[in-house]
Amino acid sequence: MTNARPGGLSRRALLGAFAATTVVAAPTYANAFGILRGAGDVRRLRMYSGRTGESLDMIYWIEGKYIKDALDEITVFMRDWRNNKMIGIDARTVDIMTAAHNLMDVNEPYMLLSGYRSPETNAMLRSRSSGVAKNSLHLRGQAADLRLQSRSVGQMARAATACAAGGVGTYSRSDFVHMDCGQVRNWGR
């Protein structure tokens, strides 16, 4: 008799997922998706938002499959906090964030500064700063601006760059790193 659960996950897989909360990826491939393959059957994302006071500690991948409900929760968490609008967050961005976090070997959750940005928010930010792109990947749910207290912006940027899976912007003066699933590129200091 198997201990099958709704959704096709076995009891063993569920217990393994919860027991694997300290899994650290082994950097065995040259991109985020390869690095995450070294993490086993579980992918976990931890973040908090200083803007909303919310926190997230989410296993979003088990046994080679994304968990739709978990990705939906990540989408809600990464919404535009200014107007509560949201769009589906691209799982590739979540994978890059997770791979970079694992490479830094930290337990501290990311501080999310910006995930999805509505067109209104992006336009407002553009009117205040020349550093905001008109066609930002934030508008598509494909980017995140992140900070860690225990790691420098340079350390975070190097980890994200090592994933070779998207764009990495270094914003030392503002103390955050931009990660996205667009073309592989780097900018800033």
* Whole-Å CA distances, 109 to 45, 127, 129: 8, 31, 28
Q: What is this structure's pTM?
A: 0.78
Query: Which pairing describes strands 65-66 and 176-180: parallel, antiparallel, or unpaired?
Result: unpaired
Three-state DSSP at 150 gives coil
pLDDT digits over 72-116, tens only? 999 999 999 999 999 999 999 999 999 999 999 999 999 999 999
**Position 40 confidence tier, pLDDT thresholds 50, 70, 90:** low
What one-letter code names the amino acid at 106? V
Three-state DSSP at 58 gives strand
Residue 175 has a CB neighbour count (10 Å cut-off) of 14
Cross-strand bridge partners of residue 110 = 47
The answer to whether 56 and 45 have CB atoms below 8 angstroms apart is yes
State both tokens at 166. 């998207």
pLDDT digits over 112-151, tens only? 999 999 999 999 988 888 778 888 999 999 999 999 999 9
State both tokens at 100. 């970079």
CA separation for the pair 65, 83 (Å, rounded): 31
| pLDDT higher than threshold 90 for residue 180 | yes
> What's the mean pLDDT in 40-63?
92
Kindly list the structural domains of the chain, giving each domain's residue range(s) and its CATH number in brackets, ordered by start.
11-188 (3.30.1380.10)
State both tokens at 1. 């008799």
DSSP single-letter state for residue 7: T
Bigger pLDDT: 144 vs 41 = 144
| pLDDT higher than threshold 70 for residue 15 | no
